[in-house]
Amino acid sequence: MQELTHWINGAHVTGTSGRFADVFNPATGEVQARVPLASKQEIDHAVAEAARAQPAWGATNPQRRARVMMEFVRLLNRDMDKLAQTLSREHGKTLPDARGDIQRGLEVIEYCIGAPQMLKGEFTDSAGPGIDMYSMRQPLGVAAGITPFNFPAMIPMWKMGPALACGNAFILKPSERDPSVPLMLAELMQEAGLPDGVLQVVNGDKDAVDAILDNPAIAAIGFVGSTPIAEYIYGRGCSNGKRVQCFGGAKNHMIIMPDADLDLAADALVGAGYGAAGERCMAISVAVPVGEATADALIERLIPRIEKLKVGPYTAGNDVDYGPVVTAAAKANILRLVESGVAQGAKLVVDGRGFKLQGYEDGFFVGPHLFDRVTRDMDIYRKEIFGPVLSTVRARTYEEALAHAMDHEYGNGTAIFTRDGDTARDFAHRVNIGMIGINVPIPVPLAYHTFGGWKKSAFGDLNQHGPDSFRFYTRTKTITSRWPSGIKEGASLNFRPMD
């Protein structure tokens, strides 16, 4: 069995805590590796080494840092297939989906190549007699990222790319469920020219998270995961004086208006609801058709599409639509929520509870489920399921449909399908959610825009990637400069305008 490591000072380092977590192959249910769980002492050591390496990296000019990012992009493309195979083997998602995971992370690294432009300050000539004012953006020092299992390549790159491009050292604590790809990314960063110690990858559980939150040398922390953990990390990190951004759970609604192209909407719902077995924070988990006729016609189109979905291991290649969920516990939680939906009166139109895959009976596969006539008081509506389960909540009017999305505690993403521009524009302006799709089911912005939800889906003032990421990983210093050139004014005790 493979025993994984940490990545400290540019080398693989064996864990010393004596504690390990199992890494499963979700398709077979077998343990394929063990990952060490770092102690506080190991975290503190990694942070201390990062703090020693950071000043020289921070003093490296932005153009040279950008060249490291450019080379990393080349190496990432070179090793795309190897990375995707490893990612699929530990996570369970299909190979095309794994490549998409890597690609969306790579796009943020490409954006970071523009660091010299993003880090430019502002300058005002002659703000007063002989006085110039200018600002500069400087790195924070050491930053950290705590990233989830569902995007083991993309989200680590969303975090470490901007942090490193800004001149910080970075501590990455990836999910212990699929840690191999983050370690491979660190190897590629070293090959790209990143100095040893600037990027550390330390595996662990809550002990490691708490050590990161409490270490005084860490200036900023980014997190993606569930809302309860996001609230915990945000509160503890802020109380320790750190800059913190946390992104939590989601319950993303898609409103289908009577004038929508229902075939387009049905295809979008299947892709957005069941891709990656529903283990996406931007997955559509609630369909809200407006009007009984719209709902009936939509359900009629959804059923055959969902029943044709092919569920299997990533090794089946393009013959599989989605794979297993990540752990046996995740599978049990999904099926428990499905049972609650049945018990609370929802109509289970497509029932995947009895799904079994021949030859993979011990794998963590969950069949696709479709509920109709779900109400807002049901657990399957209120809670994030994170599985291949789509709930249909019927609305009588557009205003009622809009209220469903606006009243839910989560506000990550939402979408509307319609041919009417006035309705779409009204929806985009009024809905209190961070990312909006108009005839787009999963509105994840490209790297040069910013990603972030509202309400209980996000905590902190700045979002991920785009310009916000450079603001988050730097602090602004403003300089007022005067060269008197022989001007003699004498002392003044008054606070007065410069001009």
Q: What distances in angstroms separate CA 302 from CA 296, 329, 357, one per listed residue?
A: 10, 28, 23
Angle (CA) 208-210-215 rounded to 5° is 95
Euclidean distance between CA atoms 327 and 365, whole angstroms: 9
Helices (H), 223-276: 227-239, 262-274
- Which among 217, 191, 152, 207 is positioned nearest to 20, based on CA atoms? 207
CA 106 to chain centre: 14
Euclidean distance between CA atoms 439 and 362, whole angstroms: 39
Q: If you search the block for the tokens 């599409």, which residue do you land on?
A: 305
N- to C-terminal Cα separation, the chain: 72
Helices 180-191 & 154-165 angle (0-180, nearest 10): 30
- Which among 428, 381, 388, 429 is positioned nearest to 407, based on CA atoms? 381
Secondary structure of residue 279 in the 3-state scheme: coil
Residue 246 annotated in active site: no
The H-or-E segment that residue 47 falls in is helix 40-59
- Count of CB atoms situated within 10 Å of the CB of 2: 10
- Catalytic residue, chosen from 112, 166, 246, 281, is 281
Rounded to 5, what percent of the chain is helix, strand, coil? 40, 25, 35
Euclidean distance between CA atoms 331 and 43, whole angstroms: 31
Encoded tokens for 110: 């490409």
Annotated catalytic sites, by residue? 281
